[in-house]
Structure 1
Amino acid sequence: MKKPATKKRWVRRIIGYSLLALLVYMILGATLPFARFPEVSQEFQQSFSTDPFYSDTVGTDRAVLVETSQEALEYRLKILNEAEDRILFSTFDMSPDQSGTELYSMMLAAADRGVKVQILVDGLSGIKSLRKDMKNYALGTHPNIEIRFYNLPNPLLPWTFIGRMHDKFICVDNKFLLLGGRNSSNYFLGEYNPDVLSYDRDVLIYNGSGKEPEEGSVWQQIEAYFTSLWDGGDCTTVYDRVSKRKEEKLQEAAASLRETHQRLLEERKELFDPDTDYVAMTVPTRKVSLIYNPIHKMSKEPWVWYQLTQLMKEADSRVWIQTPYAVLNDAMYKALESIGSDLDDYEMLTNSVAGGDNFMGSSDYIFNKEKILNTGITVYEFQGNHSMHNKSMLLDGDLSIIGSYNLDMRSTYLDTETMLIIHGEEFAETLEDAMLAMWDQSLKVTPEGDYEAREGVEPLVLSGSRKYLYPITSVVFQLFRFLL
Structure 2
Amino acid sequence: MKRTREYFSIPNLMGYFRIALLPVFLLLYYRADSKTFYLAALLVLAVSFLTDFLDGKIARKFNMVTDFGKILDPVADKLTQGGIAVALTFQYPLTVRLLVFFLLKELYMAVMGLILMKKDRKITGALWYGKACTCILDAGILLLLFVPNLPLLVSNAVIYLLMAVMAVTWGMYLLFHIQMLTTGEADSGRTKGKRRGLLITGIIILAVISFVLCAILPYRRQPEVSSEYMESFQADSFYGEGISADRAVMIEDNGAALRERIRLISQAQERIILSTYEMRSDTSGMQIMAALRAAALRGVQVELLLDGFAFWTQVEGNPYFYALETTDNVEIIVYNRANVLTPWKGMSRMHEKYIIADDRVYLAGGRNTFDFFLGDQEGHKNYDRDVLVYNTGGADSSVHDLVLHFEETVAQKCCSLWRHGKLLENSASVKRAAAELDRLYVRMQAENPQQFEAIDYADVTFPVNHISLVSNPGGLYPKEPWTFWTLCQLIKHADTETIIHTPYIICNDYMYDMFTEICQKNENVMLMTNAPSTNGNYFGAVDYVLNKEKILDTGLKILEYSGNYSYHGKSILIGDRLSAVGSFNMDIKSAYQNTELMVVIDSREVNDQLEDIFLDYQREACPAAESGSEVEELFSGDVPGRTRMVRRVIMWLDPWIRFLM
Return the TM-score normalized by structure 1.
Answer: 0.92
- 1:454 corresponds in structure 2 to none
- 1:273 corresponds in structure 2 to 453
CA distance in 2, matches of 1:24, 1:472: 19
Deviation at 1:59, TM superposition (A): 1.2
- Secondary structure of 2:470's aligned partner: strand
Further displaced range: 46-55 or 349-358: 46-55
- 2:391 corresponds in structure 1 to 207
1:44 corresponds to 2:229: yes
Structure that is richer in strand per residue: 1
Q: 1:224 aligns with which of 404, 422, 436?
A: 404
Q: 1:186 aligns with which of 371, 383, 386?
A: 371
1:197 corresponds to 2:369: no
- 1:455 corresponds in structure 2 to none
The correspondence of residues 352-371 of structure 1 with structure 2, limited to 5 A, is: 352-371=531-550
The correspondence of residues 359-438 of structure 1 with structure 2, limited to 5 A, is: 359-438=538-617
Further displaced range: 43-52 or 72-81: 43-52
* Contact 1:55 1:286 (8 Å CA) reproduced: yes
1:463 corresponds to 2:647: no
CA distance in 2, matches of 1:147, 1:103: 14
* Contact 1:117 1:145 (8 Å CA) reproduced: yes
Change (3 A) 1:376 1:475: farther
Q: 2:318 aligns with which of 133, 153, 170?
A: 133
CA distance in 1, matches of 2:216, 2:429: 41
1:151 corresponds to 2:336: yes
Is there any run of 5+ residues in structure 1 with no aligned partner, and where?
452-459
1:172 corresponds to 2:357: yes
CA distance in 2, matches of 1:104, 1:385: 29
Structure 1 runs of 4+ off > 6 angstroms? Answer: none
* Contact 1:141 1:239 (8 Å CA) reproduced: no
Return the TM-score normalized by structure 2.
Answer: 0.68
The correspondence of residues 3-402 of structure 1 with structure 2, limited to 5 A, is: 7-192=192-377, 194-209=378-393, 211=394, 213-214=395-396, 217-238=397-418, 241-243=421-423, 246-274=426-454, 276-402=455-581
Change (3 A) 1:462 1:64: farther
Deviation at 1:475, TM superposition (A): 3.6
Deviation at 1:467, TM superposition (A): 4.4
- Secondary structure of 2:479's aligned partner: coil
**Aligned AA (1:181):** G
- 2:650 corresponds in structure 1 to 473
* Contact 1:199 1:387 (8 Å CA) reproduced: yes
Change (3 A) 1:277 1:219: closer
Q: 2:623 aligns with which of 444, 459, 470?
A: 444
Is there any run of 5+ residues in structure 2 with no aligned partner, and where?
1-187, 631-635
Deviation at 1:13, TM superposition (A): 3.8
Further displaced range: 326-335 or 134-143: 134-143
- Secondary structure of 1:153's aligned partner: coil
CA distance in 1, matches of 2:423, 2:500: 50
- Secondary structure of 1:243's aligned partner: helix
**Aligned AA (2:436):** S
Deviation at 1:461, TM superposition (A): 9.2
Larger radius of gyration: 2
- Secondary structure of 1:195's aligned partner: coil
Deviation at 1:77, TM superposition (A): 0.6
* CA deviation string 1:419-451 (max 9, x = no partner): 000001000000001011100011111233579
- Secondary structure of 1:38's aligned partner: coil
CA distance in 2, matches of 1:255, 1:471: 46
Change (3 A) 1:333 1:257: same
**Aligned AA (2:304):** I
Deviation at 1:98, TM superposition (A): 1.2
- Secondary structure of 2:547's aligned partner: helix
* Contact 2:284 2:370 (8 Å CA) reproduced: yes
Change (3 A) 1:482 1:382: same
RMSD: 2.0
Change (3 A) 1:13 1:279: same
* Contact 1:382 1:438 (8 Å CA) reproduced: yes
- Secondary structure of 1:149's aligned partner: strand
Deviation at 1:118, TM superposition (A): 0.4
* CA deviation string 1:311-334 (max 9, x = no partner): 111010211110001000000000
CA distance in 1, matches of 2:649, 2:336: 32
Further displaced range: 298-307 or 336-345: 336-345
CA distance in 2, matches of 1:11, 1:90: 49
CA distance in 2, matches of 1:322, 1:21: 43
Structure that is richer in helix per residue: 2
- Secondary structure of 1:146's aligned partner: strand
Percent sequence identity is: 34
User: Structure with the greater relative contact order (CA < 8 A, sep ≥ 6): 1 or 2?
Assistant: 1
Deviation at 1:156, TM superposition (A): 1.7
Change (3 A) 1:402 1:450: farther
**Aligned AA (2:491):** M
- Secondary structure of 2:422's aligned partner: coil
CA distance in 2, matches of 1:37, 1:190: 38
Deviation at 1:167, TM superposition (A): 0.6
- Secondary structure of 1:356's aligned partner: coil
* CA deviation string 1:204-223 (max 9, x = no partner): 101123x4x33xx4222211
**Aligned AA (1:442):** A
**Aligned AA (1:428):** N
CA distance in 2, matches of 1:333, 1:461: 33
- Secondary structure of 1:420's aligned partner: strand
Deviation at 1:248, TM superposition (A): 4.3
CA distance in 1, matches of 2:331, 2:432: 19
* Contact 2:502 2:571 (8 Å CA) reproduced: yes
CA distance in 1, matches of 2:488, 2:363: 24
CA distance in 1, matches of 2:424, 2:204: 39
- 1:482 corresponds in structure 2 to 659
CA distance in 2, matches of 1:341, 1:207: 39
Further displaced range: 262-271 or 402-411: 262-271
